[in-house]
Amino acid sequence: MKLQADIGGDQHTVEIKRDDRLLFAKVDDREYELDLSEPEPGVFLFKHDGRVYEASVIKGETEAPMQVRIGSKEYEVRINDPKRLRSASATGDHSNGVAEIKTAMPGKVVRVLLAAGAQVNKGDAILVVEAMKMQNELKAPKAGVVKEIRAAEGSTVGAGEVLATIE
């Protein structure tokens, strides 16, 4: 997964690959192999070169940056997924008609947050899909009514599959 990160106002290219507990990260031109665990939500332990680092992550609102604390240092971090930005712009304006909520990659639906008929605002979370051991909220691209939920909790979904529609 290739991402763009704004860390304290500095731009970085970040590539992440995960294999069970191992995390392979490339930040700009520096490469890391880390043993990763999450003992509690939002708290991560990274083992690298015989040392253990603890990182606390507090996610803000949808557009707000995350607050990341490593040791005594705090960082403001914004993550941008270029693929998500491209797919969002490719879907166009949904102000009229039906908007489809699709998965970006194969995964498992872990939570259905709203049912058909629910009123939503743009950015409201509709479903949570776990892919590559990360949970991703799929959000309404526009305000409207949930017309249809096409996946149940626990179901496996494929990349690009339509999971819900908003009218």
Q: Which domains does the chain have, with CATH numbers?
A: 2-80 (3.30.700.30), 96-166 (2.40.50.100)
Q: Which residue has the higher pLDDT, 132 or 136?
A: 136
Give the span between the Cα atoms of 84 and 4, in whole angstroms: 11
- The 3-state DSSP class for residue 124 equals coil
**Can you say how many angstroms the Cα of residue 78 is from the centroid of all Cα atoms in its chain?**
12
CB-based burial label for 163 (10 Å; 0-12, 13-18, 19+): buried
pLDDT digits (tens, 9 = 90+) for 29-69: 999 999 988 888 888 898 988 999 898 988 766 566 888 89
